[in-house]
């Protein structure tokens, strides 16, 4: 069952088989004796389908169903899919039974091909399991490290200066899953993803920097995207990289707890800031200094990382927000206030990162904030800029970076990781300072 759930649907044979069958069905349904009546009927069917598609797009955009504007690629897939379905529908009349059968099967194939095409464009749901929001568990053996001696002559030196990789160190990192007990929060979460860099897989590994990463909504705690980028960085830096725990701040990808503790959706904030932190400290060979800890997130997770970085500087002095929201709940603040904060607008406003930063309740003597966003993501560019500006006003050392040509999809995520680690590697002691 797990092997079926892990079948890839953004590349490989499955998606191409569906595309091929859909194309064959379309050609069959289109080709009939070229009489004027049929040509007009086919054109009317496809045009009607396209008009339904445009109406659907308008409704989705107007109601902000997905929290982000639809891309041109998504719009194109929707229009083509509905036009093909329109062609299938007009084949149900004045046709033999086998053409009717192909038309019915064609509707399913066209809908499936369009869904897979849109999913492949986003690239963040690569398997059947991830598409269905299922986390297939792959338990991973945890590394153990001996405590550093108190008279260690390398204490205080950056890791890149003191680390010598052993000959048997693996060439790449390892990923897996880990169940995090919700001891303090009682929050129901999916298993976290875990990335162990090459340096963490040796006997008696060094204490490494630590990152908590949160993905978007909908989304899965999948470590493969950060692992791909960090494997490249580790290959250039003697196997050194942060240990990354991809924590589930949602519990269910269909809901958004807005990174807060609420009666309606559970104690998501306590889960991340206490349960995940406590588990990592007890079970992973990580540095304990907040200067070597990173709170990071993408989209929904980016808003969470900004909030937690602002509210808990004693835990994190490095924040990476990739295509992040300006504040959690920004997609539909009225509904969030009503349903999660009991109508208390002031309570909701107090949880915004900008409010936390401006409150004077926390000091930020050495916090680094990195805010990235795709150049083709107009809805999130102002949000990322506003977040960066608020952090800078509070004294953070900020970087605001627009990734050329990227949207709000996989290219933005990978570009954000690339820029983020370019800045963080020297700060975390994993590479020599640049410039």
DSSP sequence for 200-241: GGSSSPPPB-EEEEE--SS-----HHHHHHHHHHHHHTTT--
DSSP sequence for 74-86: HHHHHHHHHHHHH
CATH: 3.30.70.3270, 3.90.550.10, 3.40.50.1820, 3.90.1210.10. Which one for 154-427? 3.40.50.1820
Residue 271 has a pLDDT of: 98
Phi-psi domain of 83 (left: phi exceeds 0; alpha: psi -120 through 50; beta: other): alpha
Q: Is 267 helix (H, G, I), strand (E, B) or coil?
A: strand
Q: What is the pLDDT along the chain (435 residues), one digit of tens a residue?
A: 667 888 888 888 999 999 999 999 999 999 988 889 889 999 999 999 999 999 999 988 887 666 667 778 889 999 999 999 999 999 998 888 989 999 999 999 999 999 999 988 887 788 888 888 778 888 888 987 665 555 566 667 899 999 999 999 999 999 999 999 999 999 999 999 999 999 999 998 999 999 999 999 888 899 999 999 999 999 999 999 999 999 999 998 889 999 999 999 999 999 999 999 999 999 999 998 989 999 999 999 999 999 999 999 999 999 999 999 999 998 889 999 999 999 999 999 999 999 999 999 999 999 999 999 999 998 899 999 999 999 999 999 999 999 999 988 899 999 999 999 999 999 999 999 886
Show me where the domains of the chain are located: 2-122, 154-427
pLDDT digits (tens, 9 = 90+) for 94-105: 888 989 999 999
Question: What is the spatial distance between Cα 422 and Cα 434, in angstroms, rounded to a whole number?
Answer: 9
Contact 91, 105 (CB under 8 A): no
Residue 116 burial (CB < 10 Å; 0-12/13-18/19+)? buried
């Amino acid at each position: 069952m797990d092997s079926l759930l892990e079948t890839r649907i953004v590349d490989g044979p499955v998606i191409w088989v569906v595309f091929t069958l859909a194309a064959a069905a379309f050609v069959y349904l289109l080709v009939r004796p070229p009489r004027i009546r049929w040509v007009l009927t086919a054109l009317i069917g496809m045009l009607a389908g396209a008009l339904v598609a445009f109406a659907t797009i308008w409704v989705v955009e107007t109601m902000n169903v997905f929290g982000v504007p639809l891309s041109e690629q998504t719009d194109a897939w929707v229009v083509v899919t509905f036009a093909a379905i329109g062609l299938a529908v007009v084949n149900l009349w004045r046709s033999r039974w086998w053409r009717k059968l192909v038309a019915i099967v064609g509707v399913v194939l066209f809908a499936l091909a369009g869904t897979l095409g849109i999913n492949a464009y986003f690239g963040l749901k690569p398997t059947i399991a991830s598409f269905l929001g299922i986390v297939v568990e792959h338990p991973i053996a945890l590394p153990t490290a001996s405590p550093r001696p108190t008279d260690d002559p390398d204490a205080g030196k950056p890791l890149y200066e003191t680390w010598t990789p052993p000959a048997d160190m693996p060439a790449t990192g390892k990923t897996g899953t880990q169940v995090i007990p919700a001891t303090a929060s009682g929050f129901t979460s999916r298993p976290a993803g875990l990335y162990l860099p090459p340096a963490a897989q040796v006997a008696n590994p060094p204490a490494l920097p630590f990152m908590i990463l949160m993905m978007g909504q909908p989304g899965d705690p999948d470590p493969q995207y950060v692992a791909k980028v960090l494997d490249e960085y580790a290959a250039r830096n003697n196997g050194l990289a942060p240990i990354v725990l991809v924590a589930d701040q949602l519990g269910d990808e269909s809901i958004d707890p807005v990174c807060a503790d609420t009666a309606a959706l559970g104690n998501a904030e306590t889960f991340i800031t206490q349960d995940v932190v406590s588990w990592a400290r007890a079970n992973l060979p990580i540095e304990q200094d907040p200067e070597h800890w990173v709170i990071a997130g993408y989209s929904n997770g980016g808003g969470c990382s900004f909030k937690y970085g602002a509210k808990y500087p004693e835990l994190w002095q490095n924040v990476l927000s990739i295509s992040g929201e300006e504040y959690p709940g920004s997609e539909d603040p009225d509904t969030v206030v009503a349903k999660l904060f009991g109508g208390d607008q002031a309570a909701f406003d107090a949880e915004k990162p900008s409010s936390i930063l401006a409150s004077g309740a926390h000091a930020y003597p050495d916090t680094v904030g990195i805010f990235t966003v795709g150049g083709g993501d107009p809805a999130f560019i102002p949000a990322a800029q506003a977040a960066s500006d608020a952090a800078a006003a509070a004294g953070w050392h900020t970087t605001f970076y627009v990734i050329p040509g990227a949207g709000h999809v996989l290219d933005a995520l990978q570009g954000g990781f690339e820029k983020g680690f370019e800045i963080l590697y020297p700060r975390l002691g994993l590479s020599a300072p640049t410039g």
